[in-house]
Amino acid sequence: MDIIVLKPSATEEELKHITKKLESMGLRAQVSKGTERTILGVIGDTSKTTEEVENSVRAMPGVENTVRVLKPYKLASREFRKAPTVIKSRGVIIGGKKINVMAGPCSVENKAMMVDVAKKVKSAGADFIRGGAYKPRTSPYSFQGLGEEGLQYMAMAREKTGLPVVTELMDPRDMEVMEKYCDIIQIGARNMQNFRLLLEVGKSRKPVLLKRGLSATIKEWLMSAEYIMSQGNHDVIMCERGIRTFETATRNTLDLSAVPVLKSLTHLPVVVDPSHGVGYRHLVAPMAKAAIAAGADGLMIEVHPKPEEALSDGEQSLRPDEFKKLMKELQAVAHAVGREI
């Protein structure tokens, strides 16, 4: 809260009451009496003004509204850290000149398939393997993932290919097993505001890939990054994966403008997941190219050897040969914007 707008009917006494309250918090009010409204500019370190203080000021007699001008996040902001954050995972650098590609199936289904896909995406140029062992499903009757077994298969795939593993954590109680097998912990869209889970991964030393919530604003998303960072883990990767809109021709609406917006607001690297963003195979390639042109630091792409037999998200998964072809096409776009892939 940096600005307090008074009601036209606010009395002198109410004004005094408010300025006193501010003073009790070590702040000072500069009063601007306009023809229609009196506005208070709050001076002092308002960055410490917590939400509850703002709420209580807003509930005081005479106050019409409060406006927050300053950003509510600190550690995640460009002001806090000018240089882009560069993260290392098993030797792979995220946030540098080279664009990272994380590829693999939606769900880990069995060992053979996992190792097979890993080899194929590696030979096509991917830097990470992705796959889900714990799956957030809308229906309790759907396949919920293989759990620890799935993590083991991913670790085996890593052993065979050298590619570090990105996988999703859904429950703080799985943290220990997660630390054992994975390299980058993914927080899914539906858990972007699962604050207890955020605090938990904030205590980990593994990088965290934080997906944007289905209807989250960029500010809320950065606040969730701040949750993680507030616990000491500064290796957060922002992952745009589409937001909910009225459009039904795509599964979600991939908000690529989030890429340059994040680049100006935060020092954290930005990855785009076109597979979940669009939901249909034939739309993945154009949006992957567009993501790079918009300035993304990485891509997360679903690849499945036989999409029509996938246990989840088959219709948005690329076949290995389609992925290979895409990787080649991406090179030209990456070079066009001064990046490598």
Of 57-65, 93-101, 112-120, 151-159, which part binds its own copies (CB under 8 A)?
57-65
# chain residues binding its own copies, by CB under 8 A = 116
Assess 244 for contact with its own copies (CB under 8 A). yes
Q: Which is nearer to its own copies, 159 or 321 (CB)?
A: 321
Nearer to its own copies, 159 or 315 (CB): 315
Helix and strand totals (H; E) in the chain: 11, 14
Measured from the CB atom, is 55 or 123 closer to its own copies?
A: 55
- Count Cβ atoms below 10 Å from residue 29 Cβ, excluding itself: 19
Q: Is 85 in the site for its own copies (CB under 8 A)?
A: no
Mapping DSSP to helix (H, G, I), strand (E, B) and coil, where does residue 195 land? helix
Q: Does 97 bind its own copies (CB under 8 A)?
A: no
Q: Beta-carbon neighbour count of residue 57 at 10 Å?
A: 19
Q: How far is the CB of 29 from its own copies (least distance, A)?
A: 9
Q: Could you say which residues in the range 282-341 bind its own copies, by CB under 8 A?
A: 282-283, 286-287, 289-295, 307-315, 317, 329, 332-333, 335-337
Strand partners, 166: 130, 184
Contact between 100 and its own copies per CB under 8 A = no
Residue entry with tokens 């989840």 = 312
Q: How far is the CB of 95 from its own copies (least distance, A)?
A: 17
Whether residue 206 contacts residue 179, with contact meaning beta carbons closer than 8 Å, is answered with yes
Contact mark string toward its own copies, 177..216, x via CB under 8 A: -------------xx-xxxx-xx--------------xxx
- Positions in 120-179 near its own copies (CB under 8 A): 136-143, 170-173
Q: Give me the least distance between CB of 327 and its own copies, in Å please.
A: 14
Contact 237, 268 (CB under 8 A): yes
Q: What's the min distance (Å) between Cβ of 162 and its own copies?
A: 29
C-beta of 12 vs 36, nearer to its own copies: 36
Amino acid at 290: A
Figure out which of the listed residues 13, 20, 56, 97 binds its own copies, where binding follows CB under 8 A. Answer: 56
Map residue 332 onto helix, strand or coil. Answer: helix
Q: Round to whole Å and give the CA distance between 217 and 197.
A: 19
Task: Identify the three-state secondary structure at position 323.
Answer: helix
Q: Minimum distance from CB of 160 to its own copies (Å)? A: 26
Question: What is the rounded distance in angstroms from the CA atom of residue 338 to the CA atom of residue 326?
Answer: 18
**Smallest gap, in angstroms, from Cβ of residue 235 to its own copies?**
17
- Decide if 241 contacts 284 (C-beta within 8 A): no
Residues of span 14-53 touching its own copies by CB under 8 A: 30, 32-37, 39, 41-48, 50-52
Q: Does 223 bind its own copies (CB under 8 A)?
A: yes
User: Shortest approach of its own copies to residue 249 CB, angstroms?
Assistant: 5
Residue 73: CB minimum distance to its own copies, A: 8
Buried b (16+ CB within 10 A) or exposed e, 93-128: ebbbebbbbbbbbbbbbebebbbbbbbbbbebbbbb
Contact region with its own copies (CB under 8 A), list: 92-100, 114-122, 153-161, 217-225: 217-225
Query: Looking at beta carbons only, is 137 or 180 nearer to its own copies?
Result: 137
User: Which residues face 38 on adjacent strands?
Assistant: 33
Contacts for 321-329: CB closer than 8 Å, 24+ residues apart: 322/281, 322/285, 323/103, 323/120, 323/121, 323/124, 323/126, 324/120, 324/123, 324/124, 326/284, 326/285, 326/288, 326/301, 327/101, 327/124, 327/125, 327/126, 329/285, 329/289
Question: Exactly one of 250, 305, 324, 325 binds its own copies (CB under 8 A); which one?
Answer: 250
Q: What is the amino acid identity at position 231?
A: Q
Choose which of 108, 238, 254, 299 interacts with its own copies (CB under 8 A): 254
CB of 25 to its own copies, least distance (A): 13
